[in-house]
Amino acid sequence: MSDASPPVRRVTDWEFDRLTGAAEAHDTPLYVLDTERVRANYERFAGAFADALADPHVMYAAKAHTGRRVLETLLDAGADIECAARGELQRAIAAGADPDTLQYTAVNPPAADLDYAADLGADHPGLTITAGARDTFDRLERRGYDGRVAIRVNPGIGTGHHEKVATGKDAKFGIPADEVADLAAELQERFDLVGIHAHVGSGVLHGDLDDHCRAIATVANIAREVQHENGADLEFVDFGGGFGVPYHEDEEPLDVSVVAERVSEAVGDLDATVALEPGRYVVADAEVILARVNTVKQTPESTVVGVDASLATLVRPAMFDSYHPIANVSAPDREREPVSVGGPCCTSADVFCTDRPLARPKRGDLLAIGNAGAYGYELASQFHSQPRPAEVAFEGDSTRLVRRRETMVDVTRVEDELDDTHIGDEGGDTHVERQHADR
């Protein structure tokens, strides 16, 4: 691993002077993206798996961060894109992706999503649609779709940093393993069955690899069964993503060369391309959030530090009890003391850390919240009618605004521009064409 591309970037590795300049130019809260880090992470991952596997297909899981500059950077680096929703398909295409290279993983897809995907597939037969429910395949067929499909498998094994992301054992995701072979035989008569897919969890580090690889071996065996017993000519077996980054300062980063070797061993002999979908690994440590301290309150229990970022800016600590490293950019060498950092939302969940030792914050200080690139801006909201923040990208020596800060006009636009003639007597959406009754 070269010094230019270390396996992890800690929040203290960012150039604090440059972060300060970005905050002064663009205000806070502010997302700061490093596109060179995005590219380096992808290339490190793809290179390690290319050394361990014969011609793997590495896609980027867009749901981690669909920002156009992220997608453009990865497309330029040679990545294909895996999408989990209609909007992600549209954003990937807008960023320059060839629709014939896209993979759409449908999870309980709304009718509008399937409409769009089926129409896209009619014009671009290279599109692949992955589904984890028989019902979804039936709905596709009713739309006239007979193109490329993959079966999402539920291996019954989940891994990852939180039970809410252990998808491999969640009944919501995938066809039960013992039903896949029969479904594959059926689908070969109705579609172009090209793949088997599974995603077992998110945030996988070295301690999770045994379970992760056990799930991969299970899926590989299912694929072999489909090939040998059903004669399916599978183009690929997609083992999803889930590869993690160390959020805690004392956690070791993944050695992706070791991970690639472990995955290769788990896959074994397989007459199909091995596909992978890193998301978090590519973008998590490539972005930070800058927040300004506005309140410092001493209480008998602790020192409470208020900032202008909130759970509307970054919801992961509230949603997953996630740890995000925090650094005092303004005074990194100041004496450390335990503080609790929270935002302006009227809920006790709006807290980024509790009693954590930080360089003592003062009003006006700039704090950086690390590892914000994965599921950060993606899950940002307008809670409390807070406009969502701006996002800038560090690209070499330049700093580029890639997403402007919302205003209150943006927050209220969908109400202010509403045409009353489109509201039915029941308050329904009478102007939306409902093409299919199955919903």
- What amino acid occupies position 77? A
- Residue 245: strand pairing partners: none
- Please give the Cα distance from 36 to 164 (Å, whole number): 31
Do the beta carbons of residue 42 and residue 79 sit within 8 Å? yes
Element (H, E) at 415: helix 408-416
The span from the CA of 427 to the CA of 439, in Å, is 19
CA distance 277 to 255: 17
Distance separating alpha carbons of residues 151 and 177, to the nearest angstrom: 11
Residue found by looking up tokens 């995000």 in the block: 324
Q: List the catalytic residue out of 83, 213, 346, 353.
A: 346
Q: Measured between alpha carbons, how far is 257 from 430 in angstroms, rounded to an integer?
A: 55
Closest CA to 230 of 151, 295, 159: 151
Q: Give, in order, the Cα–Cα distances in Å from 428 to each of 14, 113, 412, 423.
A: 49, 20, 20, 6
Q: How far apart are CA 358 and CA 337, in angstroms?
A: 6
Smallest CA-to-CA distance from 349 within 301, 396, 384 is with 384
Which tokens belong to 5? 């591309």
Query: Is 213 tagged catalytic?
Result: no
**Alpha carbons within 13 A on the beta-carbon side of 20:** 11
Q: Which of 349, 152, 117 is nearest to 237 (CA)?
A: 152
Q: How far apart are CA 30 and CA 392, in angstroms?
A: 8
What tokens were used for 132?
Answer: 């984890």
**Quick one: angle between helices 209-230 and 180-187, nearest 10?**
50
CA terminus-to-terminus distance, the chain = 49
Spatial distance between the Cα atoms of 373 and 246, rounded to a whole number of angstroms: 13
- Enzyme catalytic residues: 346
